[in-house]
Amino acid sequence: MKVICVAQQKGGAGKTTIVSNLAVAYLAEGKRVALLDTDPQGSLGRWMDIREETFGEDDMLHFATATAYGISRAIRSIRKDADVVLIDTPPKVDSDVRWILKEADLVLVPVSASKADVWATNDVLDLAERAGTATRIVLNRTRAGTRVGDDVAQSVAELGARTLDATLSHRVIYAEALGHGIGVLEAKRSATVSDEVRALAGAVSAELDG
Ligand SMILES: Nc1ncnc2c1ncn2[C@@H]1O[C@H](COP(=O)(O)OP(=O)(O)O)[C@@H](O)[C@H]1O
Ligand SMILES: [Mg+2]
């Protein structure tokens, strides 16, 4: 069983988007997925509610809320039902978050195309390093060839953290899918977007297995 945590102090960077889309990608690979939401805002729970209203319950997909302090117990209690555990986190990085980072095999840090996201990233990188957990930055809302995109990529490179080659582009379908309780893979609207989500899931698996 692998534990992936998505963390970033900046709200709106794409944590819940990445968790929900990775969940659907791993389900499509036949994996059993457990979601743990530690964000009191509960966006992932809302996504899950809508999903269950639409498709009914799914034996392959479990959901629970957890506190940062209770994360270890929460992981233990779902251990036998999951191949992949995905942990969503609140938009703050404080000492509590360390409990979560410590339990993860990999921490994904979304950075969307804004300098503010880059500035917000140092704390989580520091905390994860102290917890001894590997981190990878995931560039989100990328727009090929735009100047702010190049600028952000440059600043991210200066953070000294490793960045996944796989990125998510800026597409309305991500927002729509989140609101409909699905992943963009299930929306089947754009092969390009589906490909980038599968590529992200593959890149994350490669980091975990490598
Ligand atoms: N790549 C993207 N393209 C378009 N909209 C996105 C993308 N990533 C996130 N969003 C939208 O931005 C908002 C914030 O994303 P969310 O995943 O909820 O961030 P966080 O969980 O970090 O606060 C949501 O409405 C989401 O649908
Ligand atoms: Mg969120």
CATH number assigned to the domain with residue range 2-209, chosen from the 4 options 3.65.10.10, 1.10.10.1100, 3.40.50.1110, 3.40.50.300? 3.40.50.300
Neighbours of 66 (CB within 10 A): 20
Contact at 8 Å (CB) between 54 and 181?
Answer: yes
Instruction: Give the mean pLDDT of the chain.
Output: 93
Cβ–ligand 1 contact at 157 (below 6 Å): no
Pocket test of ligand 1: the residue of 87, 89, 174, 190 to mutate, having most ligand atoms within 8 Å of its CB, is: 174
As a whole number, mean pLDDT of residues 86-108 equals: 94
- Residue 200, judged by CB atoms within 10 A of its CB (0-12, 13-18, 19+), counts as buried
Closest residue to atom 14 of ligand 1, CA basis: 12
Instruction: Write out the DSSP string of 26-70.
Output: HHHTT--EEEEE--TT-HHHHHHHHHHHHH---TTEEEEE--STT
Instruction: For residue 203, name the pLDDT band (cuts at 50, 70, 90).
Output: very high
pTM confidence score: 0.97
Query: Residue 157: what pLDDT?
Result: 83
